[in-house]
Amino acid sequence: MCCPACVAVSECILGAGLDDYYRMRDQQANRPAASAEDYLQYDSPAVFEQFSHPDGECWQSQLSVSDMHCAACAWLIENRLGAIDGVNAVRVNLQRGMATVEWCPAQVQLSEIFASVHQLGYGVQPWSAEAHLQQLQEGQKSLLRRLGLAGVAMMQLMMTAIALYAGDFQGIDTDIRQLLRWFSLAIATPVILYSAQPFFSGAWRGIKAGRAGMDVPVSIAMLAAYGASLRATVSGEGHVYFDTVSMFCFFLLLSRYLQNAVQLRRESSIRPLLPLTARKVAPDGANQWVALSALQDGDELLVQPGELVPVDGVVVSGQSSVEDSAFTGEFMPRSKVPGDTVLAGSHNIDGSLCLRLQGHPEQSSLSQIDQLLDSARLAKPPIAELADRISGYFTLFVLFCAAAAYTYWSFNPGHSAFLTALAVLVVSCPCALSLATPSSYSAAVSGLRRRGALVANAAVLENLAGISHVIFDKTGTLTEGRPRLLKVELAGELDECQALSIAAALEAPSSHPIAQAFSVDALGAAGYTLTALAPSQLDLQAGQGISAVINGDSYKIGRREFCGFAEQGDSDELMTVYLAKNGKLAARFFLEDTLREGAAQALAFLKQRGVRSVLLSGDSSDQVAVLANALGFDEYQAGCTAADKLARISSLQAMGGTVLMVGDGVNDAPVIAAADVSVAMAGASDLTRSCADVALLSDRLSLIELLFTKSAKMGRILRQNIFWALLYNGTALPAAAAGLVPPWLAAIGMSLSSLVVVLNALRLDRQEQQRSLNTQHVELASV
């Protein structure tokens, strides 16, 4: 992508294309089956083979499970399915909403497995990326409806609450008070009946699984506060807490909505990867479009220039340059001739290829890597789970305290037992504590999102604080992966402008990245004036060079061998382009990959922070050393394979280091999985982006600096929030249990304490917004 406008256009097209696809799908959508009989269709081998692969006697099937919210859900499914005879292993990936089940057809039918998941109350379908995305979108929509209702209700209820509180102090007509209460009841009832449903169903699942998640205290507090308010309204005695109920519901839904939004965004950005159809070549030479799933091992396919290769295959005829940065991370296209293997997801650049399909079309290397990464990601320690568990224990503690207070005051005069117990529940509701983490995280995440960094899992922001080493990849990460002309060395009678004019004319028809360096635009921008030439007999040899005749002279441009010269041996061959006139050397062009903007600043920032920077590049040329010295890297290593990089990371980690990896290619994928925190560049392959902790949306390296400062700030605000929540709960709980806090004060205290936490967390986002507005003004002014 050359500019933000191109990115906008391509996003627009992709977005529109996807959208149309889903509109079409809606008509034939597989809705989750309603009863166990409906799952019988999955028992047929022809059906389950589509989302399963054999593993000896057994099969591994991938199921898409919807409505999973927390680690408890994953635990429940794993245990329930694991208990079925014939199910060997179950792994649930909470982030992707995916369950991988290993089962033996001899002992169990797949329909039983489906029905078991269904019985637990989760939606289940065979795993398919589109169906999963659709499920996510539907879930997000229903969450938005609940959130909107709770928000509008909250605003209404706050108004009446203020009137009621004022009435408590100054006196209020009983009629008016009752009117306000009935009004509040009317508004709060849909909140409990509709908006709060996810918490109740989550709490119910948690109780069934024997683990009190965050949903349990939330549900009890909401139901108790609502119940007490209902009683007070009907009887005309006591206090109402309708505002508390709705505020609670709104803030909790909001944090859940924001988290889902990030997941949805990431999932939809990795979808439009492989085409769904391919051109199949019939024995008589004619070709026709067929669905990928209809292809068989050994079929021959035609791939035109500019197309993505849809399957893994062997070249039968034709030759072309193929760019497979999705696998190698190197943007330099490689020449492919008959007999070479081409992988699904690579980009065919300048010639037609006829491929023979190898293996199953939907089991390409790309999807296999995807599966491997899924299991790799399951191994990561879920720090968020710990936070959930701790607040679960806190919940039990609060419930215990409430029960104790109730019992104590039932036998001792002085305070109403029910009101005291309610005060304990409301005042010490883990609201502030449970909001402290997610609100800070989601504010930081949305702040970063605005600046162009997509954080996959918020725990990363915590890990960033302790980073000791940052490892960079070179091509595509520190550099743009697009060569540009550095200098021209003349050998014949041509002058610089003539040589470049000829080069531009010859390279014009090619879409190779090197040819782009000779485009009229690129050279014009570099300040060269070119004369337009009309070459004839143009012959484009993929991966080699181009020959043509201009004004009666024959020219060749391209590799040294192509132009027919002997080894010159003084510089990196790949980046030198030769021009021959009538078989004699006319000029040599030296190209350089452009360094990304902000690379030097990012490195300077890391140095200042005391973080060691390491450059590990797959490139074996001298350029690595030149670059490393110019940017002031602490160490560097050229010619690294993925295994070398992995070994380097392991040795750093063994010495107690915490490693941040910044990379782009799939060859970096295992490295990215091993690193403590990983960042994928915007130009990275979709696969790498989907497995990295942070995916950048623009290639500005200054975002690395932003990540560090943001995480430090988030750590600070998180600590403030937790400190405040603990301080508040620590003082309010005993006070309420002693009967010193009336429920209305408890409600105000609780609302204020969570408000303090949320407002404090919002500072993470708000300052960011102002700053980004300022930079926009500056950018506009400079235009």
Binding residues vs another protein (CB under 8 A): 8-9, 11-12, 15-16, 19, 137, 141, 144-145, 148-149, 152-153, 156, 173, 176, 179-180, 183, 186-187, 190
Which of 205, 449 has the CB closer to another protein? 449
Which of 7, 486 has the CB closer to another protein? 7
- For residue 349, which amino acid is it? I
CB 448, min distance to another protein, A: 16
Which of 179, 337 has the CB closer to another protein? 179
Which of 152, 508 has the CB closer to another protein? 152
Maximum Cα–Cα distance across the chain: 113
- For residue 587, which amino acid is it? A
> Is the alpha carbon torsion for 301, 302, 307, 312 positive or negative?
positive
**CA gap 180, 292 in Å, rounded:** 63
Task: Please indicate whether residue 473 is annotated as part of the active site.
Answer: yes
Helices (H) and strands (E) in the chain, counts: 26, 27
**CA gap 611, 630 in Å, rounded:** 18
Taking Cα atoms as reference points, which of 510, 514, 511 lies closest to residue 535? 510
Which of 36, 144 has the CB closer to another protein? 144
Distances 747 to 245, 428, 490 between C-alpha atoms, Å: 10, 10, 82
Residues 6+ apart with CB under 8 A from 6: none
559: alpha, beta or left, given left = phi > 0 and alpha = psi -120 to 50? beta
> How many C-beta atoms surround the C-beta of residue 286 within 10 A?
8
CB 5, min distance to another protein, A: 9
Q: Are strands 469-472 and 612-616 parallel, antiparallel or unpaired?
A: parallel
CB 759, min distance to another protein, A: 24
Residue 614 three-state SS: strand
CB 183, min distance to another protein, A: 5
Q: What is the DSSP string of 1-16?
A: --SHHHHHHHHHHHHH
Which of 107, 178 has the CB closer to another protein? 178
Taking Cα atoms as reference points, which of 203, 729, 212 lies closest to residue 429? 729
Distances 579 to 414, 513, 566 between C-alpha atoms, Å: 100, 17, 13
Which of 92, 185 has the CB closer to another protein? 185
Q: What is the DSSP string of 157-196?
A: HHHHHHHHHHHHHH---HHHHHHHHHHHHHHHHHIIIIIT
**Cα radius of gyration (the chain):** 32
CB 8, min distance to another protein, A: 5
CB 15, min distance to another protein, A: 5
**CA gap 536, 540 in Å, rounded:** 12
Which of 233, 477 has the CB closer to another protein? 233
Distances 749 to 185, 431, 733, 735, 752 between C-alpha atoms, Å: 22, 11, 11, 12, 5
Residues 6+ apart with CB under 8 A from 453: 694, 695, 696, 697, 703, 706, 707
CB 211, min distance to another protein, A: 32
**CA gap 488, 486 in Å, rounded:** 7
Which of 149, 322 has the CB closer to another protein? 149
In sequence order, what E strands does 436-478 have?
453-455, 469-472
**CA gap 288, 296 in Å, rounded:** 15
CB 265, min distance to another protein, A: 9
CB distance 579 to 563 below 8 Å: yes
CB 226, min distance to another protein, A: 18
Which of 179, 630 has the CB closer to another protein? 179
CB 225, min distance to another protein, A: 20
The H or E element containing residue 348 is strand 347-348
CB distance 597 to 604 below 8 Å: no
> What are the residue ranges of helices labelled H in 53-196?
71-82, 110-119, 129-170, 174-190
Which of 145, 777 has the CB closer to another protein? 145
Q: Which of 215, 312, 324, 473 is catalytic?
A: 473
Active site (catalytic) residues = 473
